[in-house]
Chains A and B, each alone.
Chain A
Amino acid sequence: MSRVHAKFRSLIADGDPHAATGDAGQDGHHDGPHVVPVWLLAGVLAILLALTVLTVAVTLVDLGPLNIFVALGIAVVKSAFVVLYFMHLRWDSPFNSVIFLSALLFIAIFLAFAMMDTSEYRPSVDAAVSTTR
């Protein structure tokens, strides 16, 4: 039985979420699992539910063209909480964050070019549609 392993388990066994956050290994690379406390998860859930209520409530207020941006802004905040806490990215290897953010980056590039393209050609499409009618 490895000394590292024994220490690793002893730290976790009592269920104290904070015990596992420190450096558990003698050799410095054995951190053990990071256990998120229940109160933190419940707090994140409460925030997510509150933001859901908020995003529905905002639709009852006419903000003109701002409505879509408010709704998406709330969605971004909600997803940030999900990703950072539920999906554990806050405590993960930064490399996972790099992967996640690069996926978002490429979606943004994809959307940006598609929107530029459709905006560019919209007048000619409209003209073509109106003449064929």
Chain B
Amino acid sequence: MKKRWDIIVVGGGPGGIFAALEAAKKGKSVLLLERKREMGVPVRCGEAVGEKDLRSYVDIDPRWISAEINSFIIVLPDGREVKLKSNIYSGYIINRDIFEYDMAARAAEEGAVIRLKSNVQELILKENGSVAGVRTMEAGEMREYYAGIVIAADGVESRIARQAGVGTALKPEDIEPCVQITASNVRLPEKALYLYVGFCYAPGGYAWVFPKANHCANIGLGINGKYSRVSRPVSAYMENFMQRFFPDASVQRYVTGGVPVSTNLKPLTKKNLLIVGDAGRMVNPLNGGGITHAIYSGIQAGKTAAGTCEAPGKAAKYFSQYERNIQKKFGKNHEHQYRIKDVVYQLRDEDYNRIGAEVLNIDIRKRSFLTVFRHVVKHRPEFLGDVLRAFTGI
């Protein structure tokens, strides 16, 4: 195996794959290192993605789509369902394993080399703090690979950036421990994203039921880290939830995971290191969605890395451009969402029930996200500003 590469990508999730694909397309030599023994799995993800959003990055292969989604149903603590207006959302529940398999194959076709079972232990740092390469464990043997640019796409753990001196450790309140099952024989009446809100289900988070093909569904639950205790971990909340709503479900997949719900990491670059996706804390902190954020940042990082290889003198300019692009695309928005999350997840179950009852009184054709938030603001006027900014993008 070659020792020297133009670009090394650490981590083979969507961020890493798209970074490798983009840089390889530009003719650079790219090595992607993945710890696990298979691309695409385990799928630690609800797999919901907006149709337009995904389409803006890639031509969608029908094989990736498990189910189409066109509505949104919020289940209140008292069990009542608040359905929002139809076609409020156009999205998919995808098969991320198939999607990532395919995209990894495309990256390889463009010339990127993927190496599995390669567990990056640490960065090789130069005296000036820039990154020379990585030390990785492969089948019990330590190996070294060198590159001009390293892309940290190592997911929620984010140890690579940490070693380069960027503080990535999350406070408990900035992460949601989650459990998700993929259940079969789940008959859902609507092609909707079902969100269960309230302390009684998931303190500081929510439970989700996302329909997949063949009467399967991703059913998951996340709580805020500050409520997570060894005596009552999120798995215990999940057990309660399943007992109550899906006592007879058969389970074909069980995964756990942590979803970062902070604002974007700052900085997102350090010397010749670029940070993408979950490692850069780019998940929307209110709804926990992060697939397309990883894709976007991966593409941007791949471009930035390739451009810098061609014009090393412009490294500083290109890197600050990367930082700005991410901030512009969703950094500011996530700051508003973060403050909204703070208020929304502190609502009491009575508040949810009362706000829900008010929304239920509105004609279903007028039940938009804005309408819902208008009623939240009525009860909690202090976050009017953030709601407005989140919706207007100002």
- Do A and B truly interact? no
| Chain B residues within 8 Å of A, Cβ to Cβ | none
| Chain A residues within 8 Å of B, Cβ to Cβ | none
